Structure formats: structure tokens, C-alpha cells
Chain A
Amino acid sequence: MSKVDKLWLWFHRMASPAYFYNIAGRLLPWIAVATIILMLVGSVGGLVYAPADYQQGDGFRIIYVHVPSAWMSMFVYMVMAVNSAIFLIWHIKLSDIVARSSAVIGASFTFLALVTGSIWGKPMWGTWWIWDARLTSELILLFLYLGYIGLRSAIDDRRVAGRAAGILALVGAINIPIIHYSVVWWNTLHQPASVSKLDNPSIELSMLIPLLSMALAFKLFYLFIVLVNSRSELLEQEKRSQWVKELVTSQ
């Protein structure tokens, strides 16, 4: 058997609901523990050990929430788009479930990034909102998420909802780089680049470690939520299948 065939087989096995359900169930506790540890490391490191910024004082510490959630907002959309493509091409139900449960949590990350960005902006710029390139991009990304969620919930039939929303996610994914580029370009026209303090070109190690650990914690948290959601969604969708019946009777 060639490597490609093996990979394909693995892919199919992973996509089989019963197998996925079991593996995910076994992974969940580990992911939960890792998330909590990393989040503790990140919070303590960020709030206590990292030095205060010489310009912004302690206010900057909000980046330990803001930056990871901004990263996640983009990452989750891409996960959603990739899974939508898999669902549309190979009709793998699991991918649709992943895309679906990603949408709400992705929107939450985006919202969190917007709120923390705005809170951070208050001491920095003296105003709650500024049309900064990043914040504006995040705002449009939030609209894209809301559109996806809105379309999904407007269609009763699960399969149709998945396919329609999948097409939308792909169109969105093609557009995100263009939107991002155009917003950044628009922003540089209207504001001198110096305002954009959200970029941190040089960063100390004592700041970097908590930041990375928070970013990882956010990723694992997302993974945790997606797995929990997918498991319950799978049970619901496959309730007539043999493996669910066996599962229920064995407990």
C-alpha cells in the first residue's frame, strides 16, 4: 500500500463518526488539562512577571487576551473554510459539523478581539474606538461570521444549511485577504502609520513566553469546544446508526 493510500485510509477512518467519537472522547481530558495549565502560565506570566511597557504602563497587558483572540479569529475562519470545502467536495459530514461549531466560537473570538482592542485603545488613544486597520478588519470579519451564522440558522434543513453556508464560507475566505489588504491600504491613506501601535515589532522574551502560551491555550480551548460540540452533534445526527445504539445500551 502506498503512502497516499495509507493517508487516505487514515483520513477516512478519522472521518468515520464512531471512530472520531471515541478518539475525541479520550483526548478531551488531556486537552482540558493542557488548556488550564497554559492559561495559568500565560496569565501569571503576563500579569506578574512580564515588565510593564515604558510607554503604556500596565495597560498593555491586555494584549495577552487581545492578540491571541485576534489570531484565533482569523485562524478559525480558515478552519471553517477548509472544512466547508471538504464537506462540499467529499460530503464528509464531520467536516460540516466542525465548520458549524467553529462559526460561533470564531465569532466570539472576533468579538473578544474587538472589545479588548477597544478597551486597550482607551488609555492609548483616549477614545474607545479608532478606525485602525486591524480593528476595522476585525469588525468586517465579525460581519462575515454573523452572515455565516445567520444563513445557517435561516435554513431548517441541516444538509442544505451546511452546503449553503459552506459556499458562503469559501467566498468569504477568498475575500478576506482582499478585504484585509484594502482596509490596510485605506488606513495608511488616512492615518500616519505611527498610530498603529498594535504591531509590536520588538518584543522581550518575558513578554513573548506568556503571549505564546496564551495563544496555545486559546487554540486548545477552541479545539476542546469544537470536539465537545462535534461529539454531541454526531450523536444527534447518527442516532439511528448502529454504533450509537450500542453506545447507549452499553452505558
Chain B
Amino acid sequence: MNYRNAFMAMLIRDLRIAFRQRAEIMLPVIFFVVVVSLFPLAISPDPAVLKTIGPGVIWVAALLSVLMSLQNLFRSDFDDGAIEQILLSPYPGALLVLARVLAQWCVTGLPLILISPLLGLLLHLDFHIIKVLFVSLLLGVPYLSMVGAIGVALTVGLRQAGALLSLLVLPLYVPVLIFGSNAVVSAAKDMSYNGQLLWLSALLVIATTLGPFVISSALKVSCSYR
């Protein structure tokens, strides 16, 4: 029994699969950029307006793209039976699931975070505000992936999973949305934003410690129904 090997095997497998489906992993990032660029068209190209709505727009768009990127998190493993082998492995399900979510985060969450400064520029945010936006997303997006994965694990066996997934997961995203976008807004007003960032960190710690266990037991439940 070698826990590190099992974790790495899972991580490498998923990264490999993801990179062989290049087009699919780019979609959430493209979605993110497109959604954000719709707002100036819908509301106003006025820099003053964009500055005020910018943080919220970017955060909401990030939240929706993460949710979209998660839709198929366990789908193929569920369809081809790999999930059974994962659940029947003597290694803890939480460990393998953590590797799975981490891989997903690397290929979809990380690009999202990396491209966010560009979107900040499009919405006329100042450089020091973009910095805060970047940090808030860096702390918030992994939380979104982890909590979203719980919803995915619960709905993976269902046919119409998409709409239900949003209903299950979006209410749980509320705190991160509030603290994340508010950190950026506070930075824009030259107010302290450390509290919000600390909250985001705390939520991230809770989600990454408890999340994998919840996800693996949810997968077990979903798997017992075919």
C-alpha cells in the first residue's frame, strides 16, 4: 500500500485524459471570457459603471464557469465503470477523489484564475484592485470546485443532472460570492479587505478537509443505484 503512488496515479490519469481532450478543457475559460464581455454591451461601456459592477460580474461569471466545468467531473468514470474500481480500491475514497478534483481544478480552475487579470483590465479595474481580485479567486475557486463536486457526486447517476446541480450548488456558493466580490469592492474603495480574504481562506480549509469525505460517500450512494 503506497498512498502517494495511488494519489499520483489518479492525478496523472486525469491530467492525461484532460490534455487529450484539449477542446473541452478550454470551454469553461472561453465561457468565462464571453460572459464577462457581454456585460459592457448589456449595461454600459462607461468606465465608471464598469468599475463598480466589475468585481461582481467577474465573480458571478467565474462561479458559473466553475459550475459548468464540473458537470462532467465524474460522468465518464461513472459510465465506463471506473468509479467502481475507485470505490473498491483499498485506498481511501477521499484520497482518490481529492486527486480527481485537484486535476479538474488544474485544468479548468487555474486557467480561469490566470485569465482573470485580463478581464479586470477589460472592465477598467485598477492594477491594485486586480491584484485583490486575483487573490480572492485563487482562494475562492478551489472552494467552488470542492463544494460543486459534492453536488456532482450526488447527481452523477441522474439523467437531467445539469439544472438540478445548479439548484443544489449555487445556494452553497453564496458566502464565497459575498466575501470574494466584496474583497474586491473594498479594495476599490480603499478599505481593508483582509477580513474577507481570511474568511475565504477559512472556507477553503473547511471545504478541502471535509469535502473529499463527503464527495466519496456521495459517490458511493450514487453508485449503488444503476
Which A residues are within 8 Å of any B CB, using their own CB?
A: 140, 143-144, 146-147, 150-151, 154-155, 157, 160, 163-164, 167-168, 170-172, 174-175, 178-179, 181-183, 185-186, 189
Contacts and interface: CB of A to CB of B under 8 A. Distances in A.
Given A143-B167, A147-B171, A155-B158, A167 B221 contact: yes
A175 B172 contact: yes
A185 B154 contact: no
B164 A155 contact: no
Contacts of A178: 175, 203
Contacts of B182: 186, 189
B21 interface: no
Of B167, B175, B217, B222, the most chain A CB neighbours within 10 A belong to B175
Given A140-B174, A147-B167, A178-B175, A154 B158 contact: yes
A144 B171 contact: yes
A178 B177 CA distance: 12
Contacts of A147: 164, 167-168, 171
A155 B221 CA distance: 11
Contact of A160 (B147, B150, B224): B224
Given A154-B155, A155-B158, A164-B221, A175 B214 contact: no
A189 B193 CA distance: 13
A171 B146 CA distance: 12
B119 to A, nearest CB: 23
B13 to A, nearest CB: 26
Given A167-B214, A167-B218, A183-B178, A160 B225 contact: yes
Contact of B221 (A143, A150, A160, A185): A160
A126 B31 CA distance: 39
Contact of B172 (A157, A163, A172, A183): A172
B68 to A, nearest CB: 18
Nearest to A189: B182
A151 B155 contact: yes
B178 A185 contact: yes
B83 interface: no
The bracket for how many chain B residues form the interface is 20 to 34
Contacts of A160: 221-222, 224-225
Interface of B: 147, 150, 154-155, 157-158, 160, 164, 167-168, 170-172, 174-175, 178-179, 182, 199, 203, 206, 210, 214, 217-218, 221-222, 224-225
Given A140-B174, A163-B224, A170-B214, 4 more contacts: A150-B164, A151-B164, A154-B155, A179-B172
- Please name the 8 residue pairs, one residue from A and one from B, whose CB atoms are nearest each other, closest first: A182-B175, A143-B171, A160-B225, A147-B168, A163-B221, A182-B178, A147-B167, A186-B178
Contact of A157 (B174, B179, B225): B225
Contacts of A182: 174-175, 178-179, 199
Nearest to A137: B174
A23 B168 CA distance: 36
A164 B154 contact: yes
A150 B167 contact: yes
Given A163-B221, A182-B175, A168 B170 contact: no
A178 B206 CA distance: 11
B198 to A, nearest CB: 13
13 contacts: A143-B170, A147-B164, A151-B164, A154-B158, A160-B221, A163-B221, A164-B218, A167-B150, A178-B175, A178-B203, A182-B178, A183-B178, A186-B182
